[in-house]
Structure 1
Amino acid sequence: MTSFNRSTSRRLKKLTQIPSVWEGDRRPLSSSHTQYTDPESEGECILWVDASQGVVRGMDMVDAAIGPEAIVRTLMRAMEHPQSPGKPARPQRIVVRDREIQFYLRGVLQDLDIAIDYVPELPLIDELFRSFSEVIDNQTPDLPPQFAKVLQEKAFAMWQAAPWDLLEEQQILSIEINKWDVGTLYASVMGMLGMEYGILLYRSEDSLKRFRSSVLRNEDSTQHLEEAFLKQDCFFLTFESDEDDDDEDDLQDLADLPISGILPTFGNIHPLEGLRVVLYDEEALVVLVALEGILRFLRDHRRQLYADVFPPLSHRYRIPLPETVDENAKSVSVTVSTLPELATELEEMTEDLEDEDEEEDYESSAFQTLRDDLIPEDSFLSLGVVSWEMLEYLRHGVTYHPVGEIKPVGDGLPVVLIQTSRPKAKTVIESLEAAGGLRGICFNPGADPFDGDRYDLGLLQTKNSELFLFGEFLDDDPIHVEARRKWNQRCKNTKGYCGLIIAKGLTGSARGNPQLRDMMALFEARSLSPQDLGIGTLQLMPQLELD
C-alpha cells in the first residue's frame, strides 16, 4: 500500500486538528439522460464534507477506473486547501460507507491521529448527491431520450454514405414532409472542400439564399460572417473529431479518421434563438425523417448524382416512425428531389461576385496589351501528358473542342492543365467558347528590365486572335526547364498537336491531382512557336509591351 512520505506526514500533522466529523465518498453522477452513453466513459464524484459545519471542503470528478489514491488526493486538498469558507485543518474523525475505503484510509492516515470509522449512511453526502441528480435530470438533454439512439445511428449512416462526395454545397436537395408544422426542408451538404462536414436543413429557400449571399459579400469580415451565421433558419448535423486536439498543426481531414473517431452533433439555428445544440421532440422527429429520406435518395440515385451535371430527380418514400411516437400513423410519406434550377441560381450568385472582383483586378493589372483576365490567379497549373486511352474518355465525357485528326504517337497528348473552382472553370470555358475556341498554346520569352529576370511566358491564343497569359515561369527554373523539354518532345511526336484541360476541385482533396470526374473541358489546339506569333520578347515596363 502506498503511504505518505515522512515529510508529508509531518506537514499534515502541523495542521490544526479540529473537533469535527468529516464524511467522505465517491459515487457516479447518474441521470436518465445518460442511458446511451458508454458506461466506461462515466466519471465519479469524490466528496469530502464537514458534517459538523455542513460545508463542502473538497470535491473532484475522476474517471471510474482510477484507484483509491484519488480519494486521498481530494482529502489532502480538503485539509490543506479547502473550498471557501473552510480553513486549513485536519479532522478528529472521518466516516465512510465503504469498507474498502475505510481500510485503505486507515493504512494511509495511520500517522495523522485521525479515527476512520464505517457508517451505513452519510446523511449530508446523500442529500448532496440527491441534489446533483435533480439538477442533472432537470437539464434538457441534447437529444430527446426516445430518439437519441436512432438519431445517432442515422448520423453514422450518413457519415458512411458521404453525400459530400456527390454533392456540392449549392446542389440542394428538397425534402417535402408536410407534417409537424414543417413543409419542405432544403438540404445543403458541407464537406466537398475537405473542411467542415455536415448537412444544413433550411426551413425555407429564402433563408438559404440570404445566408449564401451574405457570406459571399462579407467573406473577409468575421463580424458580418458571424451575424450571417446566426441569422440562418435551419436544423444541422455536423461532424467533428472525437479527440481533443489544440495543436492546429496536427489537424487532419476528418475523412481520414476511422468512424470511431467521429462525433456527430445535432442542433438548431434561428435568428431569434441563435445557436443551440439541442433538439426537442418534434424537431428531432423532423430531422430523423429528413435524414432517412436523404439516405434512401443517395442509395437509389448515387450513380446519377455522381455525374458532372446535377440531374433533375425526385423520389417518394414511405418512412416508418419510431414506436415511441404517440400517433395513430406508423409512417410518414416524404418526397426527396434535386433542385437543378436553384443550384444554377446559387452558382450564378457566386459567379456574378467573382466577375466583379476579376473586373476590378483587371483594371489595376500591369498587363494591358496582353490580357491576363482569363485564367484565375489562384489556379493550379501544370504541364503534362494525357494518355491516349484517357483522351478517348475525355472526348466523350467532358465539354470537347477538337482541332483535327491526331495520330496517337508517343506516350500521349501534351496538355496544359488549369485547375480552379467549379464556377471559375465554367467561366473560363464559356470565355474560350465565346472567343471561337482555342487556336494555339505558345511559350514566349519575356523579360523584366528592372531586375534582369527572364521568363518563359505561357500564352493561349484564341481563334479571334486574342492572347491570354496563363503562366509566368523563370527560364532557369530546373523544374520548368525539364517540363518544357518534355513538352517540346511530345509536341514533336504529335506533329504539333496539344491540348488544354480545364478542371475543378481547387480547394478539395483533389487539389493538384484532379481525377477524371474533376475534368470539365478539353480544348485541342496547335503548339505555336514564338516565331509563329511574331511578337518578340515581352517586357514588363511596368506593363508587358510588344517590342
Structure 2
Amino acid sequence: MTSFNRSTSRRLRKLTQIPSVWEGDRRPLSSPTQHSDSETKGECILWVDGTQGIVRGMDVVPPESGPEAIVRTLMRAIENPHSPAKPARPQRIVVRDREIQFYLRGVLQDLDIAIDYSSELPLIDELFRGFAEILDSQVPELPPQYAKALREKALAIWQAAPWELLEEQQILSIEINKWDVGTLYASMMGMLGMEYGVLLYRSEDSLKHFRATILREDKSQGHLEEAFLKQDCLFLTFEHVDETDEEEEFEDLAKLPLSEIEPTFGNIHPLEGLRSVLYDEEALIVYVALESLNRFIRDHRCHLGSDSFPTLSRRYRISLPDSCDEQTKSVAITVSSMPELAAELEEMAGYEDEEDKEEIESEPTPMFRSLRDDLIPEDSFLSLGVVSWEMLEYLRQGVNYHPAGEIQPVGDGLPVILIQTSRPKAKTVIENIEKAGGLKAICFNPGADPFGGDRYDLGLLQTQNGELFLFGEFLDDDPVHVEARKKWNQRCKNTKGYCGLIIAKGLTGAARGNPQLRDMMALFETRSLSPKDLGIGTLQLMPQLQFE
C-alpha cells in the first residue's frame, strides 16, 4: 500500500486538528432515471465537514481511477479547502465503503485521525440527491429512444460521403410535408477536406440570405455572427471522437477509421440561436432526411459524380424507428436536385464577375479531394513576379524544366510565382509535384473568414492528380498584393493563360529574397485558372462548434 512520505506526514501533523467529523464518499455522476445510452460523466469525490455543514473538497475523476484519488481529494480538503474553510485536519472521518475505510486507515495511520464506517452519510446523501435532480432536469442531446438510430443514419452518411460528389452550392431538396416541415434544403460540407457535415435549411430564403451575407464585401464581424445565428437549419457535423479543446495540427477526418468518427447534431434558429439538442420531432425530421438522402446518393452516385449537376428526383417511403409512437409508421419523401438554385448561388459567389470574364477560358478541372497546405514549407519566401523572355531561355536550359506547351513571347515576360526555401526542402517540393504528375494550374481563389470579417486572396497550386495545395494567403485589401495581382492578371492575359512556378534554394543565405539564376532549381510551366474555371466558390473558414 502506498503511504505518505515522512515529510508529508510531519507537515500534516503540524496543522490544527479540529473537533469535527468529516464525511467522505465517491459516487457516479449519474441518475438512476437516466437512459442507459447516456455518456458516463465520471465519478464525484466529496469531502464535507459534517459538523460545520460545508464542503471542503470535491473532485470528478474517471471511473477507472484507483483509491488514491479519494486520498488526493482529502489532501486538498485538509490543506487547501474550499472557502470559507481553513486548513485543518479532522478528529474523525466517516465513510460508507468498507474498502475505503480500510484503505484510509492504512494511509492516515500517522495522522491521529479515526476512520469509521457508517451505512448512511446524511450530508453527502443530501448533496448527491441534489446532483441527481440537476442531472434529471438536463435535456439529452438526442431523444434517448432515437439516439442509436440517428447515429447509425449519420454514420451511413459519413460512409456515403456525399461531399465527394456535391459542392456546398449544389443543393438537394428533401420534401417531407410532416411535423410542420414542408421541404428541407440540404447543403453538403466536406469537399475541401476541412469540415464535414450536412446543413438542412428549413427555407430557401434562409440559405440564400446566409450565403449572400458571408459574401458581402463590407461585412463586419458583428454582422457575420448575426447572420450565422439567423440561419434556420438543422445540422449534422462530424468530429474526431478524441477531439479536445487544445489546438492540434490539422487532420483530415476522412483519413480516420469509422470507429474514430463522432456525429454531432444540432439546430440553429434566429430566435433560439445555436443549440446542440434535438427534440423528438426534430430528431424524426433529421432521421428521415438522412435516410432519404443516403438512398438518393446511392441511387444517383454516377450521375452526381459527373461534371454537370443534373436534374434528378426520386421518391422514397421511409420507415420510422421502431421506438416511434407515431400512428403512421412510414413517411413518403421526395429528394430532388436543384441545378437552377445551384446556378443562382454560383452567380451570387461572383463567378460571373467582369474580371473573371477577362480570364482565359480553360478546360474543366477534375474534382479535387481536399485543400492541402503541406506542399510549400511555412517559412518559404514567396513573390509574384515576371521572368523576361531572354532570362526564361537560360532558365529552361539550366534547371529541372517542365514545359506546358508553346508560349508566345508577348509582353514583358512570363508571369511566375517564385518560392524560395532551403535546398533540401526545395528538392522535396519538386519531388512531390513530380510524384503528383506535375503542375496542372495556378489559381487565385477568394476566401473569407465569416467571423473575423477578413477576405482573402488564396494562392493555389493544382497538380495533375487533382489535388489543390495552398501556397499563400493574401489579405484582399493589401495594396501591395492588389497591385501585384493586377500585373499578374494582365501578364497572364498577354500569354493566353500561361504562367510558371519557380522553386529556388538559398533562403538562409545571401540570396534570401533575391535568388539568382544559380539558386533556381526547377521551373514548372503551367496555366492560370480563374475562380470560375476552378469552380469551388469562395472558400469559407468554418467555425469549430464547441458544446458544453
Query: Do these two structures clear the TM 0.5 threshold for a shared fold by scoring above it?
Result: yes
Aligned-residue offset at 1:501: 9.2
Q: Does 1:104 align with 2:103?
A: yes
**1:269 and 2:297 aligned:** no
CA shift for structure 1 position 469: 5.2
- What is the letter of the counterpart of residue 239 of structure 2? E
Alignment of 1:176-255 (within 5 A): 176-218=175-217, 221-245=220-244, 248=247, 250-255=249-254
Alignment of 1:338-417 (within 5 A): 338-351=337-350, 354-355=353-354, 417=440
1:78-117 aligned within 5 A: 78-117=77-116
Q: Deviations over 1:166-197 (max 9, x none)?
A: 10000000000000000000000001011111
Task: Tell me which of the two structures has the higher relative contact order, counting C-alpha pairs closer than 8 angstroms and 6 or more residues apart.
Answer: 2
- Tell me the C-alpha RMSD between the 2 structures: 3.5
Unmatched 5+ stretches in structure 1: 360-364, 368-381, 387-413, 425-455, 488-498, 510-547
Q: Which residue of structure 1 aligns with residue 534 of structure 2?
A: 504
Q: Is the 8 A contact 2:173 2:338 kept in 1?
A: yes
Q: Deviations over 1:190-248 (max 9, x none)?
A: 01011111110000011111111111115974333222111111001111222245564
Contact 1:218 1:224 in 2 (8 A): no
**TM, length-normalised to structure 2:** 0.68
Number of the residue aligned with 1:515:
none
- The equivalent residue for 2:370 is none
How many angstroms apart in 2 are the aligned matches of 1:242 and 1:219? Answer: 38
SS in 2 for 1:140: coil
Name the residue aligned to 1:4.
4
- Partner AA of 2:59 in structure 1: D
Alpha carbons of 1:103 and 1:218: their partners in 2 closer, same or farther (altered >3 Å)? Answer: farther
- Structure 1 letter corresponding to 2:344: E
Q: 1:458 to 1:256 in 2, by over 3 A?
A: farther
Alignment-mate amino acid for residue 237 of structure 2:
T
CA 1:311 to 1:352, structure 2 compared with 1: closer, same or farther past 3 Å? closer
Q: Is the 8 A contact 1:163 1:189 kept in 2?
A: yes
1:192–1:508 contact (8 Å) kept in structure 2: no
Counterpart of 1:118 in structure 2 is: 117
What is the letter of the counterpart of residue 126 of structure 1? D
Q: Is the 8 A contact 2:446 2:537 kept in 1?
A: no
Cα gap change, 1:354 to 1:97, in 2 (>3 Å): farther
1:353 deviates by 7.1
Letter paired with 1:21: V
Contact 1:151 1:288 in 2 (8 A): yes
Aligned identity (percent) is 64
| C-alpha distance in structure 2 between counterparts of 1:107 and 1:8, whole Å | 15
Note the C-alpha offset of 1:352.
5.2
For 2:251 and 2:311, how far apart are their aligned partners in 1?
35
Gaps of 5+ in 2: 359-383, 387-400, 406-436, 448-487, 503-515, 540-548
The answer to whether structure 1 residue 471 and structure 2 residue 507 are counterparts is no
Is the 2:167–2:536 Cα contact (8 Å) retained in structure 1?
Answer: no
By how many angstroms is 1:415 displaced? Answer: 10
Residue 129 of structure 1 pairs with residue 157 of structure 2:
no
Select between 182-191 and 119-128 the one with higher mean Cα deviation.
119-128
Deviation at 1:326, TM superposition (A): 2.1
Is contact 1:194–1:508 with CA below 8 Å preserved after alignment?
no
Q: Offset of 1:111 from its aligned partner?
A: 0.5
| Cα displacement (A) at 1:87 | 1.4
**Distance in 1 of aligned mates of 2:50 and 2:248:** 50
Partner of 2:441: 418
CA distance in 2: counterparts of 1:246 and 1:323, whole angstroms: 37
Q: How many residues align?
A: 413
Residue 173 (1) aligns with residue 172 (2): yes
SS in 1 for 2:185: strand
User: Are 2:26 and 1:26 aligned?
Assistant: yes
Deviation at 1:470, TM superposition (A): 3.5
After superposition, what is the alpha-carbon deviation per residue over 1:86-140, rounded to whole angstroms, capped at 9, x for unaligned?
Answer: 1111111111111110000000000111110111111211111111011011011
Aligned with 2:2: secondary structure? coil
Residue 355 of structure 1, CA deviation? 3.8
User: In the alignment, what sits opposite 2:471?
Assistant: none
Separation (CA, whole Å) in 2 of partners of 1:127 and 1:357: 70
1:416–1:501: 8 Å Cα contact kept in structure 2? no
Tell me the secondary structure at the aligned position of residue 250 of structure 1: coil
8 Å Cα contact 1:186/1:201 also seen in 2: yes
Distance change (3 Å), C-alpha of 1:142 and 1:113: same
**1:496 corresponds to:** none
Name the structure 2 match of 1:35. 36
Following the alignment from structure 2 to structure 1, what is the Cα–Cα distance between the partners of residues 101 and 95? 6
- Aligned 8 A contact 2:22 2:50 in 1: yes
The amino acid that maps onto 2:29 is L
Give the partner amino acid of 1:35.
S
Distance 1:421 1:65, change over 3 A: same
In 1, the alpha carbon distance for the partners of 2:29 and 2:521 equals 63
For 2:351 and 2:536, the matched residues in 1 are separated by: 19
Q: Which has the larger radius of gyration?
A: 1
**Change in 2 beyond 3 A, CA 1:33/1:479:** farther
CA pair 213-505 structure 1, distance change in 2 beyond 3 A: closer
| TM-score, length-scaled by structure 1 | 0.69
CA distance in 2, matches of 1:70, 1:283: 41
String of CA shifts for 1:373-403, please: whole Å, max 9, x gaps. xxxxxxxxx95679xxxxxxxxxxxxxxxxx
| Separation (CA, whole Å) in 1 of partners of 2:196 and 2:156 | 14
Change (3 A) 1:90 1:383: same
Amino acid across the alignment from 2:207: L
2:499/2:528 contact within 8 Å kept: no
> How many angstroms apart in 2 are the aligned matches of 1:260 and 1:353?
43
| Separation of aligned partners in 1, 2:336 and 2:72 | 60
| Pairing 1:152–2:151 present | yes
- 1:541 alignment partner in structure 2: none
Cα distance in 1 for partners of 2:206, 2:123 equals 53
1:45 is displaced (CA, Å) by: 0.4
Q: Is the 8 A contact 2:92 2:113 kept in 1?
A: yes
Q: 1:342 to 1:384 in 2, by over 3 A?
A: farther
Alpha-carbon spacing, 1:316–1:219, altered in 2? closer, same or farther (3 Å):
farther
Question: Hey, what's the Cα distance between the residues in 2 that align with 1:275 and 1:302?
Answer: 32
- Distance in 1, matches of 2:317 and 2:257, equals 32
Summarize deviations over 1:252-282 as a string: whole Å, max 9, x none.
Answer: 1121222222222111111111111111111
1:305 aligned onto 2:304: yes
Contact 1:421/1:507 (CA < 8 Å) preserved in 2? no
Which residue pairs with 2:280 in the alignment? 281
Separation (CA, whole Å) in 1 of partners of 2:322 and 2:66: 42
Cα distance change of structure 1 residues 458 and 217 upon mapping to structure 2, 3 Å threshold: closer
2:334 maps to 335
Query: 1:418-464, CA deviations, whole angstroms, 9 ceiling, x for partnerless residues?
Result: 3548999xxxxxxxxxxxxxxxxxxxxxxxxxxxxxxx999778xxx
